[in-house]
Structure 1
Amino acid sequence: MMRIMLFLATNLAVLVIASITLKLLGVDRFTGQNHGSLLIFCAVFGFAGSLVSLFISKWMAKMSTGTQIITQPRTRHEQWLLQTVEELSREAGIKMPEVGIFPAYESNAFATGWNKNDALVAVSQGLLERFSPDEVRAVLAHEIGHVANGDMVTLALIQGVVNTFVMFFARIFGNFVDKAILKNEDGHGIGYFVATIFAELVLGILASIIVMWFSRKREYKADEAGARLAGTGAMIAALQRLRAEQGVPVQMPDSLTAFGINGGLKNGLAGLLMSHPPLEDRIEALRRRG
């Protein structure tokens, strides 16, 4: 599950490009000092980026990871994979998602899609080769848990909300710099433009900290779902196997990390932009849950 640097960069790029385009088209001037109109204006563009990303998430995941969708199983392993996902999906009460394998040595898996009945679940070749069947089943159950919990949609909506307020407060800041500091009374000047872009970059990073905090909370919920569907022991064993492989770099695109089983490690301030809690904390949470 995925969304750190690439998602952050993509989201900020959407905001910055939107700001530049709207400035060049002169749309900004229509919002002026009317904060109600400005908020509606920002909401439209704030949600647009996150919802577009959500609707094309399956396509982007397939393209960026090289995932091969299993339509007709060619081996008994692919047959087992399809049967296991079908069984877990039925138990979770969702429609059978697409199932794929992506070529990567590191152990990882992800789920994505615009709704829980039109999703994609994929696992890496490395995970299939090194994990036991019970551990692979637990990983799949974790991803099915993300789908059943509606985490993709919820995360996109939260991103849309924070995008809205990033654009809103950035424009208020830009207007303050332009009018109060630079004393520009003739429409929006260059000070407004530069200050708005700067504020969007700074506020965008702060907003991503909020989104990543939510992502970490949902990871515990997906672990609980995995434990219910595949057994607590199997879920703990899968997380322990991931911890044993922490020296292997996670190379899955960051736009998918928020919904991957393995999100990598970050310490210090970088931990605020971590999409996943530390594996030790996730294992301990499952043990306490029993």
Structure 2
Amino acid sequence: MMRILLFLGTNLAIILVASLTLNILGVGSYLTANGLDLNALLAFCAVFGFAGAFVSLFLSKWMAKMSTKTQIIEQPSSAEERWLVETVQELANKAGIGMPDVGVFPSHASNAFATGWNRNNALVAVSTGLLTRFKPEEIKAVLAHEIGHVANGDMITLTLIQGVINTFVMFLARIVGYAVDSFLRRGDNNSGGVGIGFYIATFVAEIIFGVLASIIVAWFSRRREFRADEAGASLASTAGMIGALQRLKAESMAHQEGELEGQLTAFGISSIKKQGFMELFSSHPPLDERIAALQARR
């Protein structure tokens, strides 16, 4: 129920922000009696495309806490919590970023994530499963990996890429929709407007272009994971980062892996391995490749 409410709330916020922005810019309808107004269409798609990406970014910390039931450590109540906060503080100082919020979320799976709208207002959280089964040096390396995401500005970079992708998916889908509708209505003497073919073709084209575009986003996400692993090795230790990835691999082989949902997937330490063609849509490279890349740094 909570996930449904978060989804509806986010989309309502996107519509409100985009509608207000379009009114301020004075962008009218992109469908005119003379056909498509490409300038108005591009403005419409850009506003909605970037509004969706940036609203999700600005709400990311709150949504992450709500969806994962993350408990923020305001005042450490145990030696373990004190160690977590002090370790994140140490790593944040080394990376040159502001102190993130530190949290723990209930999950048997070993995972962690970082999110937030800028480098100095982030959230780093780890699962109870990871805290239970990982060694201290491995936990520190995982925290360093997540701090690496924050320090590298991965959240804002991915948001900009997603905004551009959203814009062109919407733009091209509507051009295709208009072309299909015009073809279906050729010879029709009723001028102006569009038929049902426009909406159906646009819907289908958005799905197709969206799937193709997600391959681009996933490719960037995989490249970014290698950089975060390097950050984990530099800020903590190469041995600790390799050890953490090897432990994740062992757990995945024992079918103990778990995946974060939604946009958090891209910022977790691991994700469920995909096979064959589906590897193109994976947000994380195979663990063997990540381990080999770190071993090559030695």
TM-score computed with the length of structure 1 as normaliser: 0.89
Moved over 4 A (4+): none
List runs of 5+ in structure 2 lacking aligned partners.
20-27
Partner residue, 1:217: 223
Which digits, 9 at most, give the CA deviation of each residue in 1:99-132, with x for residues without a partner? 0000000100000001110000000001001100
Determine if contact 1:32/1:38 at 8 Å carries over to the other structure: no
Q: Which residue of 2 aligns with 1:135?
A: 138
Q: Is the 8 A contact 1:93 1:148 kept in 2?
A: yes
Count of aligned pairs between the two proteins: 273
Residue in 2 that maps onto 1:97: 100
CA distance in 2, matches of 1:149, 1:249: 26
What's the secondary structure of 2:194's corresponding residue? coil
Q: How does 1:41-120 map to 2 (within 5 A)?
A: 41-120=44-123
Q: CA deviation at 1:249?
A: 3.4
Aligned-residue identity in percent: 60
1:32 CA drift (Å): 4.1
Counterpart of 1:276 in structure 2 is 284
| 2:117 aligned counterpart, secondary structure | strand
Note if 1:240 corresponds to 2:246: yes
Per-residue deviation, 1:275: 0.4
Amino acid across the alignment from 2:244: A
Match of 2:24 in 1: none
Write the mapping of 1:2-17 to structure 2, written as runs, cut at 5 A: none
**Residue 253 of structure 1, aligned match among 251, 256, 261:** 261
CA RMSD for the aligned pairs?
2.1
- Highest relative contact order (Cα 8 Å, sep 6+), 1 or 2? 1
2:186 maps to 1:186: no
For 1:278 and 1:254, locate their aligned partners in 2 and report how far apart those are by CA, in whole Å: 20
Kindly report which structure 2 residues correspond to 1:138-153, keeping only aligned pairs within 5 A, or say none: 138-153=141-156
- Equivalent position amino acid for 1:125 in 2: T
Distance 2:284 2:74 in 1: 31
Larger CA Rg, structure 1 vs 2: 2
Q: Secondary structure at the match of 1:101?
A: strand
Residue 125 of structure 2 aligns to a residue whose secondary structure is strand
Rounded to whole Å, the distance in 2 between the matches of 1:64 and 1:206 is 27
Amino acid at match of 1:29: L
